[in-house]
Amino acid sequence: MLSLFHAPGTCSLASCITLEEIREENGAEFEVNKVSFANGDQHKPEYLRINPKGRVPALLTEEGILTETPAILLYLAQRYPEASLAPLDDIFALAQLQSFNNFLCSTVHVAHAHRFRGSRWANEQSSLDDMNAKVPENMTALFIQIEETYLSGSEDNPWVMGANYTVSDAYLYTIARWLEGDGVDVAALPRVNAHIKRMENRPAVQRAIAR
């Protein structure tokens, strides 16, 4: 049985949502182990043995441990193809999905992290303050790009990949939940806002958040 290490409020929610989607589709069971950042669980030896990076998510499989959200989401989509969470039979579309997920991971998440994790890049308080002040502008610009490039706003193509829901939607929703805290006016992003509401109506999302 798969075992996910998850911290509430973090990017690991995307993996949790995906597991709930899979369970809804075929009844596959999994465990969710909460990692409390408030208690510093991510830095404790027992967790570092699971993920030496000291971050979430981490997914324990029969073959070993996987880390990094894009890798975990692709693994789950490929392991449970009957859930139809990625365009596995179309190599170009699958590459597009991976391109989007990696954009969220390497660019959007990093822009958000400048609000809380500025010490990864600078030491001076003035530098940290400057990075923090830049977050609303950067996150707004990135989500305008997402809105204009990936979300059509069409009822026939309501998801990141068009007509079909995929793991990219779980990932986008997870990061979009941070926007208000980042000082972004979500109401000014109608397609993103509609995507958030659409996601919140999915039972798998509701179960994942309830965890």
**pLDDT for 118:** 86
Q: DSSP H helical segments within the chain, as ranges? A: 13-26, 45-48, 69-79, 91-103, 109-116, 125-149, 167-176, 190-200, 203-210
* Residues lower than pLDDT 50 in the chain: none
- Short-list 114, 92, 209, CA closest to 161: 92
Report the DSSP pairing between strands 2-6 and 30-34. parallel
**pLDDT for 210:** 93
**pLDDT for 56:** 98
**pLDDT for 211:** 84
At which residue do the structure tokens 């999915």 appear? 202
Q: What secondary structure letter does DSSP report for 208? A: H
Question: Is the domain covering 91-202 a CATH 1.20.1050.10 domain?
Answer: yes
Q: Where along the chain do its domains lie?
A: 2-85, 91-202
Contact 45, 74 (CB under 8 A): no
Separation between Cα atoms, residue 169 and residue 144, nearest integer Å:
16
**pLDDT for 98:** 98
Cα torsion through 149, 154, 158, 164, rounded to 10: -90
Domain 2-85 superfamily per CATH: Glutaredoxin (3.40.30.10)
Predicted confidence (pLDDT) per residue in 65-74, tens digit = 999 999 999 9
Q: Is the dihedral of CA 38, 59, 27, 205 positive or negative?
A: positive
**pLDDT for 25:** 86
